[in-house]
């Protein structure tokens, strides 16, 4: 009995590392039925008879993703593109950054990020929500940095060569909220945005026009 008790105590920390999603624990897998609606517990499962090996396979990160603003390209393997990760609390993304490229201030409300540099070097930084302290590190090929869930963060390529990073998330759908779009790509009146940000109202109007907002 003493040995069994010690074994149980040893297993408790390991059990706490298992994914919390009920979909991951109650069955072998749950391939997302993307024709249904996503829920806090993930997508409903495809009928097992219709599952194939292709549901566990994704090749979309072999090359750079679609180009975005600020000289970056982003490709993701979240549940909406890779149904096999549904309920497993994992996903990944690839970012390609040209020299001078930057990923603007953003956060992932649904998961923490582990950023790995495949090629080149970048500067990566996040802002602690509690302390408002900035943590910045220059990352080179082979380096890792963890970006805690929900914290605002950014990266930029300070070198003369392109950089490529691969990010892993502890969520099948970590979400993405870009600060600039949250502030200016909406229909909140410019006067109100000016009041809550202390920005000049004319500048807010220009930024709304730049990011496609109204008001």
**Residues flagged as binding site for Mn(2+):** 106, 108, 113, 153
Strands 91-97 and 144-147: unpaired
Tokens describing residue 144: 């890792």
Burial of 49 from C-beta contacts in 10 A (0-12 / 13-18 / 19+): exposed
DSSP, residue by residue, 82-95: -GGGTTTT-EEEEE
Could you list the residues known to form a binding site for oxalate, using ranges: 108, 113
Question: Of 102, 114, 214, which Cα lies nearest the Cα of 167?
Answer: 114
d(CA 153, CA 105): 5
Q: List C-alpha distances in Å: 70 to 21, 117, 130.
A: 35, 19, 28
Could you list the residues known to form a binding site, using ranges: 106, 108, 113, 153
């Amino acid at each position: 009995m003493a040995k069994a008790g010690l074994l149980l105590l040893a297993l408790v920390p390991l059990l706490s590392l298992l994914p919390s999603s009920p979909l991951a624990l109650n069955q072998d897998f749950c391939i997302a039925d993307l024709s249904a609606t996503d829920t806090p517990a993930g997508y409903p499962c495809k009928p097992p008879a219709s599952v194939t090996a292709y549901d566990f396979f994704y090749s979309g990160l072999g090359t750079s993703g679609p180009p975005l603003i600020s000289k970056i390209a982003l490709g993701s393997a979240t549940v909406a593109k890779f149904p096999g990760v549904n309920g497993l609390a994992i996903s990944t993304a690839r970012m390609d950054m040209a020299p001078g490229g930057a990923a603007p201030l953003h956060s992932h409300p649904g998961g923490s990020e582990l950023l790995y540099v495949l090629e080149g070097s970048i500067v990566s930084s996040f802002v602690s929500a509690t302390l408002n302290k900035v943590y910045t590190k220059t990352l080179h090929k082979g380096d890792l940095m963890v970006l805690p869930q929900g914290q605002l963060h950014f990266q930029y390529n300070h070198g003369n060569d392109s950089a490529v990073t691969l990010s892993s998330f502890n969520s099948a759908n970590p979400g993405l909220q870009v600060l600039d779009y949250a502030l200016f790509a909406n229909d909140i009146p410019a006067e109100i945005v000016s009041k809550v940000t202390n920005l000049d109202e004319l500048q807010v109007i220009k930024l709304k026009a730049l990011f496609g907002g109204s008001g």
